[in-house]
Every structure is written in structure tokens, then in C-alpha cells.
Chains A and B, each alone.
Chain A
């Protein structure tokens, strides 16, 4: 019998044959790489049609040297069947922008702000997109791989 994650991926492929670029479901680790332009539609479909009623995590990865450079990662959870699904979307370096999923999942609010704070990826439609962990004076995005390892931006005290 097909597991829950695989059947959710199959539903997703049937619905968005043009937007889903890659899937795998090894050892219950169901993952789909989707078109970033369609992320809102995909997430809405998974929430309304596939029982994924909880957004556990939003994060990003910087693959410096690849194009597109960034990868958004969304971890979805279905509380009823106790199953998980991972959605990924690649974001270009020149225009690091993707649609916000705050209108779908309120929990995305602070997590998208964290991604914006540390990676500099902008979220269209986010209600309050500003830094959350770092201070307003901070320049740059420290979790990008090209942020200088030695660079310090203290508010008081010596620079290094």
C-alpha cells in the first residue's frame, strides 16, 4: 500500500503537473521541488485538499555557485494522519523573492521574517517584513555563504 506522503505527492503531481519539478519519497521522506511562482497555489492545495493543516518550519539554504542560488524549504505536517511533507522551491540570486504564505499559515509570519533577516529573501505579501533576530543597524545577511566570516558589527565595544 502506498504511504501517505507518496499519495500526497501523487495528488500534487496530478493537480500541478506543470509546477512540480522533482519529487522523491524515500523512507517516508516525501519531498517535492516546485516552481517558486506557484508556491502559493501549491500550499493552498496541500492545506485544503491534502490535510496538511500545520506549517512546522520555513527555512532556506544558500547553494553558493549554483543557479538558482537559494532554496526555500517548507515543512508541512498533517495532524490527523500524523504525516509530514517537505516542499522546496529554488529562488534566484538576482531577484530573491517569493510569495509569502502568511495568508495561508499564520505561523509563517516570524519564520519568513527570520529567513529575510538571515538570508535576505523577500516575501511578497508579508504583512510586516523586517528583521527579527538581528538589529536594524546590521548590514548584510549573515547566513549567506558569501558573508565574511570575520565581519563583526557590534553596537558597543571594539569592532573585532
Chain B
């Protein structure tokens, strides 16, 4: 068989000359349509549309370990109502979640579980550090406590407070939404990897 003469796949149909002409005229026709007061037509960039839908339909994974959980319940409940921001549906499978909300102190014993949950989430994904303990270890600095979850997973938004007020959480969520709106689609090859075992070990002299 002569492979130099590759057959054209049958399902590709060449457009006719009239159709090509129509496509060429489309932008002008759209402008003319809008000028005439048309309202069932919207032109936008793919980035803007995809990011808009992502930021208002976040499924969150509540990784709740400590007292901040009470404040999380408050902000997720009907009084403050995260649903107004399209961020209400907790998914208890990381496969279905977009936003990892780390709420409460993370201990060294718990850290591998947090990392595993993060690694199981599908891209695109974001991480919120909820409360002082997740930001920096908070009041705890001892043998048991992770000094900020950004030593384990990359964090997109930090919400300080012990615990943070619901207003602070909503402010943080809106900041995260603004950040999502500014992202590139598709992501330009950036993958948010968690800290792997090859993380450089920095030894401090033991007192």
C-alpha cells in the first residue's frame, strides 16, 4: 500500500466557499447585530468565561481538625452563608473538590494525611489556610505542631485569626476568587506540586 498518499479522513467535510465567506463576515455581523440592540449574544474571552464559572462554583474539602471548625461551621451556615459566593457544597472526596480548606492545627502525625488528600485532588485546585495555626503554627511551637501548612502543600490564601471572624473568611474567599479570575486557561504548564520527600532539609542546631 502506498502510504505517501494518505487518504483524507471521511468525517472531515470541507466548508463551501459560501460558508467561508460567512465566517469571515461574522465579527462585522455581530457588531451590526449588537448595534441594532440585540441581547442574546455575548462576546468574551475563554479565560474570562472559564475562570468566572470556576470561581463561583467551588466545591470545598473541609479538612477540619480543631477549634477553627466552629468558625467554619458558622461561616458555612445560613447566617454568613458561603453559598452566596458559590462555595457551599462540601465534598468529602478529594477527587471531587477544588478548594482544600485546612481548618485547624496540623500536627506532624497528621501532615502525611493532609499531603495525601492534596495530592489526590484533581487540577485545578486551590488551598486555603484557615486560621493562625495553619498559617504559621499559631500559638504552638513544639514537638507536635507543623509550623505552617505551606511547609507541606502550596497555599493560595492565608486567613489569620484565632479563629478568624466569618467576615475575614469571606474577605479571603473573595480575594481568592479575584485571583482565580486572573488565572490563565489552560494553565501555562504550572502544576502545584506538594512538598515531596526530596525537600531540602534545613538542620537547625539543637539547643
Contacts and interface: CB of A to CB of B under 8 A. Distances in A.
Q: Chain B interface mostly helix, strand, loop or mixed?
A: loop
B207 A157 contact: no
Given A142-B143, A159-B201, A154 B111 contact: yes
A7 B111 CA distance: 51
B195 A157 contact: yes
Contacts, number: 56
Interface stretch (B11-19, B68-76, B144-152): B144-152
Interface residues of B, number: 21
Contacts of B142: 142, 149
A141 to B, nearest CB: 10
B109 interface: yes
A17 interface: no
Given A142-B143, A151-B143, A156 B112 contact: yes
Q: How large is the interface on A (under 10, 10 to 19, 20 to 34, 35 or more residues)?
A: 10 to 19
B25 interface: no
A37 interface: no
A158 B204 CA distance: 11
A19 B206 CA distance: 42
Contacts of B206: 148, 150-151
Interface of B: 108-109, 111-112, 115, 142-144, 146, 151-152, 195, 197, 199-204, 206-207
Which 9 pairs show the lowest CB-CB distances between chains A and B? A157-B151, A142-B143, A160-B204, A154-B108, A148-B206, A159-B201, A157-B152, A135-B109, A155-B112
16 contacts: A142-B142, A148-B207, A149-B207, A153-B108, A154-B151, A155-B108, A156-B152, A156-B197, A157-B111, A157-B151, A157-B152, A158-B151, A158-B201, A159-B203, A160-B202, A160-B204
Given A150-B207, A157-B195, A158-B200, 16 more contacts: A135-B108, A142-B144, A149-B207, A150-B204, A151-B206, A155-B111, A156-B111, A156-B112, A156-B152, A156-B197, A156-B199, A157-B151, A158-B201, A159-B202, A160-B202, A160-B203
